[in-house]
A and B are shown apart, each in its own frame.
Chain A
Amino acid sequence: MKVKISSDYAVQMRAITKNFGEFCALNEVSIDVKKGTIHALLGENGAGKTTLMNILYGLYQADSGEIYLNGKKVEIKNPNVAIENKIGMVHQHFMLVNNFTVAQNIILGREVTKDFGVLDMKKARTEIDEIIKKYGLKVDQKAKIENISVGMQQRVEILKALYRGADLLIFDEPTAVLTPQEIEDLINIMHKLIEDGKTIIIITHKLKEIKASSEVCSIIRRGKYVDTVNVSEVDESELADKMVGRSVNLVVDKTPAKPGEVVFEIDNITVQNEIHANIDSIKNLSLKVRKGEIVGIAGVDGNGQKELIEAITSLVKVKEGTIKINGKEIQNTKPKNVIKNKVSTIHEDRQKRGLVLDFSVAQNAILEKYNEAPYSRFGILNYDEINKFAKNIIKEYDVRPEKCHRKKIRALSGGNQQKIIIGREIKNEPELLIAVQPTRGLDVGAIEYVHRTLVEQRDKGKAVLLVSLELDEIMSLSDRIAVIYNGTIVGEYDRKEVNENTIGLLMAGGSKKNADNSKNS
């Protein structure tokens, strides 16, 4: 599909090529974004979609290729040029000053001043108010960033772009951190922006949101342009196939659970907040996991998930209550003891908590059993055995590249790093497998693999505890769902008896009664 350069298009990028060293991030990619539309950019992690947008925003320079804005050729050397050309970008990781107020953040770099450079906050606030009203971007201008929710922070980012007069807005993975209700709000805001004549490019790998928001979708795979489609003419699985380059199974294949006895039991635990001694991060929380079932913990980030996992793994102290595995109390011991008692954890943030990035793959594989025979004897490591073990994991879990056990694990992709961790944890033969955000940042192919592995473990009779911020993941994997809000479990359901709405409302702090009613309506 060759489109002529014309002023009907807000952006036309032609044959953009970008190399990072020997790695070709983008290979002659072209896209055409019509004015006044929401255009989705779909691709797996590392496909090059963010790189392409960073080039448009002037953060990177393309090695070759041309950019046309409204039919005119431009050279975007840095973000300032982009802003002059009315381009705004809402990054995946927000670029906000935490202890500034909303208004201060919005005007940062474009301050309104009176004589002698004195800030005119009043004038700034009225200007911002106008934008807020126009698009329904409700935020409290005087609140400090650190005190408002992630969804609100994102609005501040949008306001920032609009305040700078952006006509073209780029959203990089905007829904990654939002609750289902917040996602809905965001899509509404996007539609309002379009009505006002703005153009939006949204980078995502979530198919559902593309269907809900966008009109046109361009797909990039491994740095190459694949196709541009009208969203209304394709369904989700077609999009997924195009993105991955092979047919993928979007629905998790699983038989009904056959739960056995209770293996793992949390009884009424309370955990004190690490910083504020008078606040409890976990309050009277109880939970049971049986053999052969996946229990999903749904919740918005920061409602005690982190503390719950740290309490189970003995990284923080439990003030009251007990945690038992196979009837044995493991609270307030040591992480090592918890692992020994057959509780294995796939931690959130694998690079920080799961791996030593500057260790080799093999060294990472034995992180929890370096001092066990045959991997070491009398304090001397046995690299023959260690490498053998690592090679086993690499083979069994299909880690690429194949001969990587001596390589630094840093060199592997996120999905392959995760496979090493999963392999390592499952090789511990756990009674309880805890998976915290196990698919964060992974692409569709890897997600499919992780999900299948978790279900496999369940079918082998293991208890699985899944903690995820992705409601879809919870819904599709869990046999039972517990919702965590403000440090306690506010609702527990059999998967079959509950829908996404109910869970979503509970996650946002709605009462159980209302949530249960909404199911019927």
Chain B
Amino acid sequence: MQTTVKILKRPFTSTVIAILCGLLVAGIILSISGYDPFAAFSALIKGIFSRPKYIFKVIEKSTPIILTGISVAFAFKTGLFNIGAEGQYIMGSIAATVVGIKLNLPPVIQVPVVILSGILAGAIFGAIVGFLKAKFGIHEVITSIMFNWIAFYFCNFIVTSSEFHKPSSARTVSINESGFTMLLYKWKNTKEGINCLKQNKWLSDIVLKTDLNYGIIIAVIMAIVISFLLHRTTLGYTVRAVGLNSHAAEFAGIGVKRNIVAAMTISGAICGLAAALTITGTSPHAIYQLTMFENIGFNGLFVALIARTSPIGCIFSGLFYGGLSYGGNSLQLDLGIPSEIIGTTIGIILFFVALTGVVPMLADRLAKRGNKNAK
């Protein structure tokens, strides 16, 4: 009994229970709408795991939202609600695209330059929000929502400008190839490479048919770096102190304003990184004219919440989210189930994650009842 209670009190357990509950409710909704939930879930799982290509597609799709998730999680840890991740992501992708098109340096320099420009743009966009909060006390949610729209229209401005626009399309031209970060990009497009890969069914499936890139490695490293930053460095110490109790931080001589700006800058920089990695790592290596938000930043909110604001947790919740949305496509293709069910499921899971504060409480009650029975 005691161990059961202990396990139930772990945050991880609560999250798993929340996910199961979410799937359960989604199943109920499916069967009410006249679909077979078991067929649906097996299609979903097939859509994620049945081919190595799918798995790597999921990883590819998950990379940016893992990073935006880390960005939002980091901001949460410092007491900030970075709903501006979307805008910072857009700015990052604009900067990476523009620099990637305009410059054509050797790959060793081009790749870092393009990625750094994305990081910088995201960082600046985050920093402005932080500055407005620190200096004038304007809540970051309000400014960053407005900044999202500024980024949105700025993106469309860049896409439609004659300088970057790709004729008869809704996007800019692609960045120069020297900025690409796909695994073995050059080689896999040579005859030799294709022949070599074709010999192995798996390898050809993974390397040839996906934009397998280094992004996921960077994302995992970032999760570790941010975790380390938060818990082991003085910077992490001060941003968390300010986030958890700005009064005590101020009274102890920690600069509150400086730390708010620092936190938003870092948060924005991670979004910019996410964007730059998408531009360099996946086709078409360009930005599109937006008719609505792509939601990569907003999905970061979900990822961070499901991960309970743990940067390491974001790797898993990001993959989970990416898997659901990628696998969700096969629901529509195989069974004709509207893929909106995936959105619904994620919403329900979040709802249960928010509710899982209840699980430790229930565990307490369980323990109490156990004691009573023992008596």
Q: Which residues of A contact B (CB under 8 A)?
A: 21, 313, 315, 334-339, 345, 347, 352-359, 363, 367-368, 370-371, 376, 379-381, 383
Contacts and interface: CB of A to CB of B under 8 A. Distances in A.
B21 interface: no
A312 to B, nearest CB: 12
Contacts of A354: 248, 251
Given A357-B245, A359-B244, A367 B233 contact: no
B251 A353 contact: yes
A115 B248 CA distance: 53
B251 A21 contact: no
A341 to B, nearest CB: 11
Nearest to B237: A370
B364 A347 contact: no
6 contacts: A335-B252, A347-B251, A356-B241, A356-B245, A370-B234, A383-B232
Contacts of A356: 240-241, 244-245, 248-249
Contacts of B364: 21
Contact of A334 (B235, B245, B253): B253
A335 B254 CA distance: 8
A345 B251 contact: yes
Contacts of A352: 245, 247-248
Contact of B248 (A353, A380, A383): A353
Q: Which of B244, B248, B250, B252 has the most CB of A within 10 A?
A: B252
A21 B255 CA distance: 39
A347 B253 CA distance: 13
A370 B254 CA distance: 10
Interface string B149-173: 0000000000000000000000000
Given A21-B364, A335-B252, A380-B234, 10 more contacts: A352-B248, A353-B247, A355-B248, A356-B244, A359-B240, A368-B252, A370-B237, A376-B233, A376-B234, A379-B235
Nearest to A355: B248
Contacts of A357: 244-245
Size class of the B contact interface (CB-based, 8 Å) = 20 to 34
Interface string B227-242: 0000011110110110
List 5 A-B pairs, minimum CB-CB distance, nearest first: A336-B253, A335-B253, A367-B252, A356-B245, A353-B251
B191 to A, nearest CB: 50
Contacts of A335: 250-253
A367 B250 contact: no
Interface string B254-276: 11000000000000000000000
A418 B240 CA distance: 22
Contacts of B250: 315, 335
Given A353-B247, A355-B245, A359-B241, A380 B233 contact: yes
A240 B238 CA distance: 43
Contact of B251 (A313, A337, A371): A313
A379 B247 contact: no
B368 to A, nearest CB: 8
Nearest to B241: A356
Interface string B212-229: 000000000000000000
Nearest to A349: B247
B267 to A, nearest CB: 19
A381 B245 contact: no
A245 B114 CA distance: 71
Contacts of B241: 356, 359, 367
A381 B233 contact: yes
Nearest to A334: B253
B236 to A, nearest CB: 8
A381 B253 contact: no
Nearest to B229: A379
Contact of B253 (A355, A368, A379, A383): A368
B253 A339 contact: yes
Query: Most B CB atoms within 10 A — which of A315, A345, A380, A383?
Result: A380
B22 to A, nearest CB: 28
B234 A379 contact: yes
**Max chain B Cβ within 10 angstroms of own Cβ: one of A335, A339, A347, A357:** A335
Contacts of B252: 335, 339, 367-368
Contacts of B235: 379
A342 to B, nearest CB: 13
A358 B244 contact: yes
B252 to A, nearest CB: 4
The residue in A21, A356, A357 that gathers the most chain B C-beta atoms within 10 A of its C-beta is: A356
A315 B248 CA distance: 12
Contacts of A339: 252-253
A367 B250 CA distance: 10
B52 to A, nearest CB: 40
A357 B232 CA distance: 18
Contacts of B238: 370
A353 B245 CA distance: 8
Contacts of A383: 232
Nearest to A313: B251
Contacts of A338: 253
Nearest to A383: B232
A339 B237 CA distance: 19
B357 to A, nearest CB: 15
Contacts of A345: 251
B232 A381 contact: yes
B245 A363 contact: no
B17 to A, nearest CB: 21
Contacts of B253: 334-339, 368
Contacts of A359: 240-241, 244
Contacts of B255: 334, 336
A355 B249 CA distance: 8
A308 B240 CA distance: 28
B251 A380 contact: no
A492 B254 CA distance: 35
Contacts of B234: 370-371, 376, 379-381
A166 to B, nearest CB: 35
Contacts of B245: 352, 355-358
Contacts of A370: 234, 237-238
A335 B257 CA distance: 13
B57 to A, nearest CB: 38
Nearest to A372: B234
Contacts of B244: 356-359
A371 B241 CA distance: 13
A353 B249 CA distance: 8
A465 to B, nearest CB: 16
Which residue among B233, B247, B255, B364 has the maximum number of chain A CB atoms within 10 Å of its CB? B247
B45 to A, nearest CB: 39
Contact of B237 (A334, A355, A363): A363
Contacts of A353: 247-248, 251
B337 to A, nearest CB: 43
A314 to B, nearest CB: 9
B81 to A, nearest CB: 17
Nearest to A335: B253
